[in-house]
Amino acid sequence: MSTSDDDAGQGPPDDDAAARLAALWTDHAVRVHAYLLRHTDPDTAQDLLSETFLVAWRRVDDVPEDALPWLLVVARNQRRSTARAHVRRRRLDDELTRLQAAAPADDTPEHLATERDTLLRALAILTEREREAILLVAWDGLTPTQAADVAGCSTAALHVRLHRARRRLKAAVDDPDTATRSTARPASAPASSRRSA
């Protein structure tokens, strides 16, 4: 029962497809909406219901005769995708708040405040290890050898992390939109998904 909507193209134009979709809506919309209401708030449930039937419209030829289970799987996938997006946004907000609180306070002109915000956003896109390396050296004033001891890694590994962090920070500061685009990935991905350095 594949329900991936990655191959979603334009909706089928013929009258038979439109009639099939109308029948699917009439027969199953209430039950799909009830399923979504059990898992989310009413506004989100309404949005996800629309997205579910948009997938059904795009893939109407793939919808089996016993359509309800298929529609519920699509609804579940839409709900999970939306939940992941909310988690990513919340993580970014939390990370920016934490970095803002940790940033050295100083009275600066407005243009420096803007630069500071850009830098904090850039820090938020680094991996946890890269951010730790750059902050230990730049904010805490440790040497790379001392920072490596604190981070529990070799000096060579810390130099690699610093190099990556500086390169990504420079790119994000040179192009502030990079920070916004890059936050689609959580700032602290599981260690197993990154190289050990």
Query: Does residue 127 lie in a domain region?
Result: yes
Q: What is the DSSP letter of 189?
A: -
pLDDT at 149: 87
> Among residues 86, 115, 145, which one ends one of the domains?
86
pLDDT at 139: 77
> Do both 71 and 126 map to the same domain?
no
Q: What is the CATH number of the domain that holds 60?
A: 1.10.1740.10
pLDDT at 197: 55
| Two tokens, residue 111 | 């243009």
> Do both 54 and 111 map to the same domain?
no
Q: What is the CATH number of the domain that holds 149?
A: 1.10.10.10
Is it the case that residue 161 has pLDDT exceeding 70?
yes
pLDDT at 122: 78
What is the C-alpha R_g of the chain?
A: 24
Q: Which domain holds residue 21?
A: 15-86
> Do both 67 and 24 map to the same domain?
yes
Which percentage of the chain shows pLDDT scores above 70? Answer: 72
> Do both 111 and 172 map to the same domain?
yes
Quick: pLDDT tens for 115-126.
Answer: 667 777 777 888
> Among residues 33, 54, 86, which one ends one of the domains?
86
pLDDT at 191: 41
Q: Which helix (H) or strand (E) holds 33?
A: helix 15-39
> Do both 111 and 180 map to the same domain?
yes
pLDDT at 170: 82
Quick: pLDDT tens for 39-80.
Answer: 889 999 999 999 999 999 999 989 999 999 999 999 999 998
Query: Does residue 53 lie in a domain region?
Result: yes
| Two tokens, residue 131 | 């951010």
| Two tokens, residue 62 | 């793939």
Per the CB < 8 A criterion, the answer to whether 63 and 24 are in contact is yes
pLDDT at 102: 66
> Do both 81 and 136 map to the same domain?
no
Neighbouring C-alpha atoms within 13 Å toward the C-beta of 100? 11
pLDDT at 195: 42
pLDDT at 8: 43
Query: Does residue 101 lie in a domain region?
Result: no
Is it the case that residue 91 has pLDDT exceeding 80?
no
> Do both 70 and 125 map to the same domain?
no
Is it the case that residue 192 has pLDDT exceeding 70?
no
> Do both 123 and 185 map to the same domain?
yes
Count of domains for the chain: 2
